[in-house]
Structure 1
Amino acid sequence: MLWNWQLPDWPKFQYDAARLQSAEAQFLKGAGIVVGALHHLDGDARQGFTIELISQEMVDSSAIEGEVLDRASVQSSLARQLGFASDPRKANAAEAGAAELMADLYRSYADPLEDQKLFDWHSMLMKGDRHIKEIGAYRTHADEMQIVSGALHAPRVHFEAPPSASVPAEMHRFLQWFNDSAPGAAASMPAILRAAIAHLWFETIHPFEDGNGRIGRAIAEKALAQSLEAPTLTALAETIKRHRKAYYAELHQASQTNHIDQWLIWFADIVLEAQKRTIQKIRFLVEKAKLLERVREKINSRQEKALLRMFAEGPDGFRGGLSAGNYQTITSATSATATRDLAELVELGALVRQGERRYARYRLAINSGD
C-alpha cells in the first residue's frame, strides 16, 4: 500500500471547495451568534466559561489519545496561566503543561506558525514525560513512524509517516503553506477548508515522537481562530471525542489518497457540530442565570443545592432526568420532603416533570437549543 505522502501528487491535495461553501457560511454566521451570546454573560461568567471550555478542550484532546487529565487541575492551572484568580489546586506536570499550551494558543492565535512555536508546544505537552527521547524537537529516529494496533506478533499498520530524515523539509513546506494561506496572506483560504487541510497535513507528517494528535488539533483551532480574528471558542476536541471511532477511520481513509473531499466534508460537519455545542453552552449559562434570579428567595437551601447540582451536569443534564431518589441523595431529604420540594420547583417553573409517581423524572425548565 502507498500512503498519501508516497503518491506523486503529494502534497497537492485535490478537492472541490464549492462543496464546503454552505458549511463555511454557517460557520461564519455561527461565529457571530457566539459573539452575540457572550455579550449576555457578565465579566465573571464570561471568564469562567472561557476557562472551562478551553481546559475541557485539552482534557478531551488528551482523552482521544488515551491520556486522562484531571479537568479541575487543568482548569486551575489555565486560570493562573491567563492571569485569572484560581484555587490553589496543584496540577501535575502533564496537566500544567497542557494548560500552558492552551493558554499560549489562546494568547498567540494570530501569530504565524513556526518551528519554534511547535517545539515550545511539544515541550509544554511532554512535561514530565520520560518515555520519549526527543522533547521540543522533531523526531530523528531511524525506525518507521507507524500507527499500529493488535498483537506484537501480528501488528496491524494503520498508517506509516514519512521517514524522520524527511521531516524538516516536509515541515518547512507545511509551515510555509499554513502561513501563506492565513487571512490576508498571499493565498488566503476559507476557515474550515484551511483547518481541515492543516490538520490532515500535519498528522500525515507526524513530526514528533508523541503528541502529534493534540498538537494537530491545536493547529486546527489556530486556523479557525485566525479566520475569525479572535481566540476560538469552539468545542472541537470535545466533538471529535464524541466521534472518535469515525475520526480515526476518516483520517485512515484520507491517508491513502490526496483526493480529500470526503475528509473535508466530514471535518466540516464536526466543526459545525462543535460550534453548535458552544452556542448551546453559552445559552445554557444565560438561562441558568435567569432561572436562578427568578427563583431567588423563593426556594430553600435543599432546592438550591439540587438546582446547582443539575446545572453542573451541563446542557445535556442528568442521564434520564432527575429522580426523587437522586434528589434525596443530593440533599439528604426524606422521601416526603423530596416529593414536596420537587413539586414546589415544578410550580415555580424551575423544573419540568415527565412521568408520574415513581417514574417521574425532572429536567431544568430552560431552553439552550437553537
Structure 2
Amino acid sequence: MFSGEYIWQSPDWPAWRYDLAALATPLAAVSQAQGLLLGRLADVGLGPRDAASLAALTDDVIKTSAIEGEALQPASVRSSLARRLGVDIGALAPVDRHVEGVVDMVLDATGNAEAPLTEERLFGWHAALFPTGLSGLTPITTGGWRDDAQGPMQVVSGPVGRQRVHFQAPPAARLPGDIARFLAWVNAPAPAEPALLRAGLGHLWFVTLHPFDDGNGRLARAVGDLLLARADGSPQRFYSLSAQIQRERSAYYDMLEQTQKQGDLDATAWLAWFLQTLQAALGQAHQTLDTVLHKARFWQQGPAVALNERQVKVLNRLLDGFDGKLTSSKWAAIAKCSADTALRDLNDLVARGLLQRSGAGGRSTSYELANQPSSAAR
C-alpha cells in the first residue's frame, strides 16, 4: 500500500496510468483543431506561414520564461528568432546572451524533434538557459544533475520562515536510473501511447524528476514541445502551449501539485487539463494567423502615397498587435522623434484613412487601425 507523500514514492513508479475512454473526446477535439489550423496554413503563402511561425515561437520563448517570473524583451526575442529562421523583420535588436540561450533551447526542441533526446542534449539546453552558471546571484551546476548537497530539491512558496512546500523531488542519488528510464521511454521506436498524450506525460514526468538545480519548468515544457512537434510531424511551430499555460498559470501549478501528491500514478486528470489547454492554444493560433493575414493584406493593398520610415515602423507594431493604446507620446518614443513630428505623422495617417482616433480628445486621444481584423473570421 502506498504510504508516501509524493507520486514518485509509489512502488509502481513510473508506471503511469490513464483512462483512455475518458480522454477520447478531448483527444479528438484537439486532433480536429490541429487539422483545422494546418488546413488554413496550407492555403496561405510561405510568407504568412513564416510570420505565423515566428509569432508563435516568439510567444513561446517569452511565456515559458514568464511562467517562472522572468521577463524577456519581446523585441530581442523576435530579433533572435528572425535571425535564426531567416525571416526579414527589418531592423534587428541587439543580441542578448540570455535570450539567445532560451531561443537555442526552443528551436532545438522543436526544429530537431526527431533527433533522440539524450543526457548531453538536456545538459546543452540547461547550459544555454544559464550561460553564466548563475541563477540570479547563486552559482548552480550546469552540464550535470543536481546533487542535493544543500538538502532535498523542493518547490516552495511564501516568505522565509513561513514557506509552504508544494513538492519534493526524488533524491539526487536516484537520478541516473530515473533519467535513463525516462529517456528510453521518450526515444522508444514504437510508442504505445497516442502522440498527444505522450507530450503531456513527458512534461509531467520530467518536471516530477526535477533533475537540475534550476530551470526544470522551462526544460519540462521544452520536452513537451519536442513531443508535440513529433505529434504534429512538422518542425515548424504555429501555436504556443507555454503561452496558454502562462494565461492559466495558477491552474497549471495547482494541477501539477495535485497530480504529484496523489497516491497512485493515474495521470488522467492531468492529461485532460493538458488537452484542454492545448486546444485553447490552437484556438489562439487562429487569432494569430488572422493578424498575420491582415498585415499581409494591408501591405499588399498598399497606401496610395509612400509612407515615411517612422510610419512604417509604428504601423507594423500596430499590425503585430500593440499592447495598450497608441498615443502621440508613445508614437514619439517608438519612432524616436519629437512630439510635433509624431502628431504630424498621426494626422497624416488619419487623413489617409489608415488610422482612426478614439478617446476623449486632447491628451486622452489614442489611435487604432481603421480596419481591425475580426477574430471570428475563419
TM-score by length of 1: 0.83
1:134 corresponds to = 141
Query: Which structure 1 segments of 5+ residues have no match?
Result: none
Q: Deviations over 1:351-370 (max 9, x none)?
A: 79999989998563322334
Instruction: Kindly tell me the number of residue pairs found equivalent between the two proteins.
Output: 356
The answer on 1:52 being equivalent to 2:62 is no
Amino acid at match of 1:224: L
Distance 1:55 1:9, change over 3 A: same
Q: What's 1:69 paired with? A: 72
What is the alpha-carbon distance in structure 2 between the residues aligned to residue 92 and residue 310 of structure 1?
24
Aligned to 1:233: 238
CA distance in 1, matches of 2:53, 2:62: 14
- Cα distance in 2, alignment partners of residues 134 and 279 from structure 1: 40
- Deviation track 1:147-190 (CA, whole Å, cap 9, x = no partner) reads 1122222321010000000111111111122222xxxx333322
Q: Which of 250, 254, 268 is equivalent to 1:249?
A: 254
Q: Deviations over 1:301-356 (max 9, x none)?
A: 698776544213x2xx665x77899899997337xx85x964863xxxx6799999
- Asked whether the equivalents of residues 357 and 365 of structure 2 are also in contact (C-alpha less than 8 Å), the reply is no
Q: 93, 112, 119: which one pairs with 2:116? A: 112
Q: Distance in 2 between matches of 1:355 and 1:56?
A: 29
Q: Which residue of 1 is the match for residue 338 of structure 2?
A: none
**Which position in structure 2 is the counterpart of 1:95?**
99
Secondary structure of the equivalent of 2:166? strand
Give the conservation status (yes or no) of the 8 Å contact 2:16–2:266: yes
Using the TM superposition, give the Cα deviation of residue 285 of structure 1 relative to its aligned residue in structure 2, in angstroms: 0.9
Contact 2:48 2:296 in 1 (8 A): no
- Report the alpha carbon displacement of residue 43 of structure 1 after superposing the two structures with TM: 3.4
The one-letter code matched in structure 2 to 1:190 is P
Question: Matches of 1:72 and 1:318 in 2, distance apart?
Answer: 13
Within a 5 Å distance, the mapping from 1:161-310 to structure 2 comes to 161-180=169-188, 185-231=189-235, 232-257=237-262, 258-294=265-301, 296-297=303-304, 307-310=315-318
Counterpart Cα distance in 1 of 2:51 and 2:67: 24
**Which deviates further from its counterpart, 230-239 or 39-48?**
39-48
Q: Which amino acid aligns with 1:78?
A: L
Q: What residue in structure 1 maps to residue 157 of structure 2?
A: 149
Partner amino acid, structure 1, of 2:98 = A
By relative contact order (CA 8 Å, sep 6+), the higher-ranking structure is 2
Counterpart of 1:333, as a letter, is: L
Query: Equivalents in 2 of 1:305, 1:79: separation in Å?
Result: 16
Shift of 1:60: 1.0
User: What code does the residue aligned with 2:33 have?
Assistant: G
Root-mean-square deviation over aligned CA pairs: 3.3
* 1:203 positional shift: 0.6
Q: Which is further off, 84-93 or 115-124?
A: 84-93
| TM-aligned CA deviation for residue 120 of structure 1 | 1.5
TM-score w.r.t. structure 2 length?
Answer: 0.81
Farther off after superposition, 236-245 or 322-331? 322-331
CA distance in 1, matches of 2:51, 2:22: 37
Contact 2:140 2:214 in 1 (8 A): no
Cα distance, 1:65 vs structure 2? 0.8
Between 49-58 and 278-287, report the one with greater CA deviation. Answer: 49-58
CA contact (8 A) 2:55 2:288 kept: no
- Structure 2 distance, partners of 1:256, 1:117, is 29
Q: Which amino acid aligns with 1:114?
A: T
Letter in 2 for 1:233: F
Gap runs ≥5 in structure 2: 336-340
Deviation at 1:278, TM superposition (A): 1.4
Offset, 1:290? 1.9
Cα deviation, residue 198, structure 1 = 0.9
The superposition leaves residues 47-94 of structure 1 with CA deviations (integer Å, 9 ceiling, x where unpaired) of 343233213311210111122222222333333444566756432321
Q: How many angstroms apart in 1 are the aligned matches of 2:49 and 2:160?
A: 49
Q: 1:168, 1:9 → 2: CA distance?
A: 18
> Is 2:376 the partner of 1:366?
no
8 Å CA contact 2:350–2:356 kept in 1: the answer is no
Where 2:220 maps in the other structure, the secondary structure is: helix
Q: Relative to 1, partners in 2 of residues 1:101 and 1:344: Cα closer, same or farther, differing over 3 Å?
A: same
